[in-house]
Structure formats: structure tokens, C-alpha cells
């Protein structure tokens, strides 16, 4: 069994590595070391996360994914959450979160009976679903409040909109013109797939197959 830690922040301005030392200490407290770290700055509301997908691809059957909180793993809608669970289930990957004590059993050697193990896993799966739903609800609530604030600012004539990063958009356009894939552009320009898609949408002649 390998423990693979997943750390995520939504924007480039946020520190995705913030909880790294806490997870190292947490694993140590349970008698384990973390074998690999997967760190990225992407929204938890999308499955388009290269590092998370790499983690799943790299993982061996029965490995553990360690996260600080479930919302680091997912703020997904129900369909995407079901898809992610299927990917995890295909390799029998267990999710361990500091906020979910019932998940800690994945870090322990199996001393309990098969019956108790099944009961604990059922409880943990139910709590995982609940926390994932809460994370999604929190995301939607914050988005709704943000839209309310924007609507109010527009009504008052105070909303200027987000300033576009013109230079980065030029770089992305050049990379698209050169035929680079979205994943390659993400790595080279340090940007989100959404920004690449926005540039491609503004410049249809740049759209290539991905």
C-alpha cells in the first residue's frame, strides 16, 4: 500500500502546498510515510485536473489517497462525483481525509473482522458522499453570492469586470497556433484549461482537436 497525497488550490494566487507539512505529520502519527505528492491549482468543481488524473493512473491497486479535506478532492456535481468514485473504485483506492475519522481505517492493518470492516466501509462511503455534497453546496452558495454581488454592483454602476491578462492570452494564442495541446499549454503558460478554452473561443481559427 502506497499513500499518495493530493493537494489542491483553486487559483494560482493560492498556495496549494499549504497543508503539505500537516499531511506529512498526520501520516507519521499513523505510522506511515507519504510516497508521492500531487499538487495543482485547479477548481475542485471540475474533473479536468491533470494531477488528480495522474495520481489515479499512477496508483496501484489498494493505494490510499490522502487529502486535508474532502473539498480538496471534489466540489463536483453528482454526475462527476459518481464518475470520480468509479475511477477510484476500479483500482480499489481508499480516500483518507483528516476531517473524516472513519476513513483512518484505511491506514490500519486489518485486525478487525470482515463483517466489521464491511460495516465501517459502508459508513465511511456514506459520509464521503455527504461531505462531497456539502462541498458542492458550499461552492454553489459562494458562486450564487458572488453573482448577487456582481448584479448589485452592476445596478449601482460600480462593476468594472475582471481585467483580462492580455499578455498571457497572447502567449496562449501563440501556443494554440503552434498546435500545442491544452495539457501542454497548461504546463507551459501556467494557466487553467478554462482560460485556454476562452482564448480558443475568441479566436475560432486557433481551435485544434484535443
Q: Which residues are catalytic?
A: 10
CA–chain centroid gap for 67, Å, is 10
Rounded distance, CA 139 to CA 146, Å?
A: 11
Amino acid at each position: 500500500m502506497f499513500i499518495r497525497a493530493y493537494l489542491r488550490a483553486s487559483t494560482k494566487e493560492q498556495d496549494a502546498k499549504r497543508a503539505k507539512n500537516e499531511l506529512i505529520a498526520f501520516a507519521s502519527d499513523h505510522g506511515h510515510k507519504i510516497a508521492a505528492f500531487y499538487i495543482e491549482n485547479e477548481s475542485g468543481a471540475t474533473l479536468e485536473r491533470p494531477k488528480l488524473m495522474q495520481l489515479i493512473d499512477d496508483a496501484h491497486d489498494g493505494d490510499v489517497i490522502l487529502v486535508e479535506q474532502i473539498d480538496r478532492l471534489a466540489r463536483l456535481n453528482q454526475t462527476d462525483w459518481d464518475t470520480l468514485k468509479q475511477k477510484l473504485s476500479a483500482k480499489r483506492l481508499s480516500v483518507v481525509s483528516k476531517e473524516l475519522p472513519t476513513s483512518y481505517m484505511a491506514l490500519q492493518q486489518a485486525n478487525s473482522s470482515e463483517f466489521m470492516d464491511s460495516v465501517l466501509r459502508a459508513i465511511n462511503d456514506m459520509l464521503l458522499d455527504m461531505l462531497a455534497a456539502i462541498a458542492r453546496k458550499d461552492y454553489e452558495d459562494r458562486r450564487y453570492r458572488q453573482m448577487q454581488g456582481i448584479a448589485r454592483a452592476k445596478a449601482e454602476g460600480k462593476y468594472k469586470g475582471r481585467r483580462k491578462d492580455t499578455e498571457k492570452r497572447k502567449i496562449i494564442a501563440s501556443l494554440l497556433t503552434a498546435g500545442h495541446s491544452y495539457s501542454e499549454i497548461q504546463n507551459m503558460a501556467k494557466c487553467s484549461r478554462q482560460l485556454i478554452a476562452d482564448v480558443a473561443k475568441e479566436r475560432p481559427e486557433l481551435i485544434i482537436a484535443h
